[in-house]
Amino acid sequence: MIDYADFTPSWIDAARDRIADMAVTTPLVPSPHLSKLAGNEFLLKLEMTQPMGAFKLRGAANAILALEGDVGGVTCCSTGNHGRGVAYAARARGMRAIICMSSLVPQAKIDGIKALGAEVRIIGKSQDDAMAESLRLVEAEGLVEISPFDDPYVIAGQGTIGLELLDQCPSLKTVLVPLSGGGLAGGIAFAVKARRPDIRVIGISMDRGAAMHASLQAGNPVEVEEVPSLADSLGGGIGLDNRLSFPLCRDFLDDVLLVTEDEIYRAMQTIYYEDRMVCEGACVVGIAALQSGKLPKSDGPIATIITGRNIDMTVHADIMQGRDVTLGNTTIRGQAYAA
């Protein structure tokens, strides 16, 4: 692992070149409905249009394409989309992949990873349990571990989104980034502020089990209890020995906002009914922050990252119809969509 001081913008420039043939440059499109609500142009960065349905392909592809020598295979722990990205990139390179996941991961994400030819192992009830199994595979079987967030190649891959945002909207003033382990938020914030330090970058997570938010408040990585969420992709810890994504988020994020399950529910309806998009709960936390009035005013265009489309369609249908959704021991009361 490189030292934090050695992670420079050149890592992200190199990642952009490395992944060009595997990950696509995704569209940045305006949402008329949300622009009216924000009082400024509100833009959607459509990472759900990546070949495997989520931004995670960028970091996984960069890490796997950078591997040298005879590699017997790769492993990782994942809440869903990172595993899917690793499985996709590993298959493209003809490599074995074992994805370790907790029992909290939705079945739709497990099935999607298996469909890409990877082996899935369900271990324990937290991402820390899954991480322990992934690290065991490194020792026992000689696999290479691809971290979901605390890896310079993964972070650099996710950071390429920031470069695209600056190219696509030079007048950009605010970026809203779903916040989990910090690879996406830290990478984008670092890439954007290296060129435009005036741009405000805000990390957004759910209000239950947000590990990076709790760690930033504590001043060091801490463990949190993982709970089911509509934004399940944002679950999991950041690792107590975190060396890169925590300091990147600490030093380059301007703020962190938390949204409720009810607010995520409504935002999922909004992007479907107003922008005709099927999105995971983690994708819409920026929209949830806007609709709930938690987002500070911006003096120019705002962009949010629509991170993935790999949702259980039964759950999605329930939300669109305004039905109750049960997550573990919690029931989110249904609400019919109203603009």
Query: What average pLDDT score do residues 116-139 get?
Result: 92
Kindly indicate the confidence band of residue 221, based on its pLDDT and cuts at 50, 70 and 90.
Answer: very high
Q: Are residues 60 and 50 in the same domain?
A: no
pTM above 0.85, yes or no: yes
Is a pLDDT exceeding 80 seen at residue 1? no
Residue 60 lies in a domain: yes
Q: Are residues 126 and 160 in the same domain?
A: no
Q: Are residues 42 and 83 in the same domain?
A: no
Q: Classify residue 24 by its DSSP letter.
A: P
pLDDT at 146: 95
145: which strand partners? Answer: 75
Structure tokens of 290?
Answer: 């806007």
Extended beta strands in 80-191, E state = 97-101, 119-122, 144-145, 174-178
Residue 302 lies in a domain: yes
**Over the stretch 12-61, which tens digit does the pLDDT of each residue have?**
999 999 999 999 999 999 999 999 999 999 999 999 999 999 999 999 99
Average pLDDT across the chain, whole number:
95
Q: Are residues 17 and 162 in the same domain?
A: yes
Q: Are residues 25 and 131 in the same domain?
A: no
Kindly indicate the confidence band of residue 126, based on its pLDDT and cuts at 50, 70 and 90.
Answer: confident
**Over the stretch 299-310, which tens digit does the pLDDT of each residue have?**
999 999 999 999
Q: What are phi and psi of 75, to 5 degrees?
A: -145, 160
**Over the stretch 54-98, which tens digit does the pLDDT of each residue have?**
999 999 999 999 999 888 899 999 988 999 999 999 999 999 999
Residue 199 C-beta-side C-alpha neighbours within 13 Å = 27
Last residue of a domain, one of 91, 115, 145: 145
Last residue of a domain, one of 116, 145, 174: 145
Q: Where in the sequence is the domain holding 40, given as residue range(s)? A: 4-54+153-332
Residue 20 lies in a domain: yes
The 3-state DSSP composition of the chain as helix, strand, coil percent (nearest 5) reads: 45, 15, 40
Q: Are residues 113 and 255 in the same domain?
A: no
Query: What average pLDDT score do residues 91-119 get?
Result: 93
119: which strand partners? Answer: 98
Q: Are residues 309 and 188 in the same domain?
A: yes
pLDDT at 237: 87
Q: Which residues of 82-108 are buried (b: 16+ CB within 10 A; e: fewer)?
A: bbbbbbbbbeeeebbbbbbbbebbbeb
Residue 271 lies in a domain: yes
**Over the stretch 232-289, which tens digit does the pLDDT of each residue have?**
989 888 989 999 999 999 999 999 999 999 999 999 999 999 999 999 999 999 999 9
Residue 231 lies in a domain: yes
Residue 108 lies in a domain: yes
Last residue of a domain, one of 145, 175, 192: 145
Which three-class secondary structure state does DSSP give residue 46?
strand
CATH at residue 286: 3.40.50.1100
Q: What residues contact residue 304 under an 8 Å CB cut-off, 6+ apart?
A: 42, 43, 44, 45, 175, 176, 177, 286, 287
The domain tally of the chain equals 2
Residue 74 lies in a domain: yes
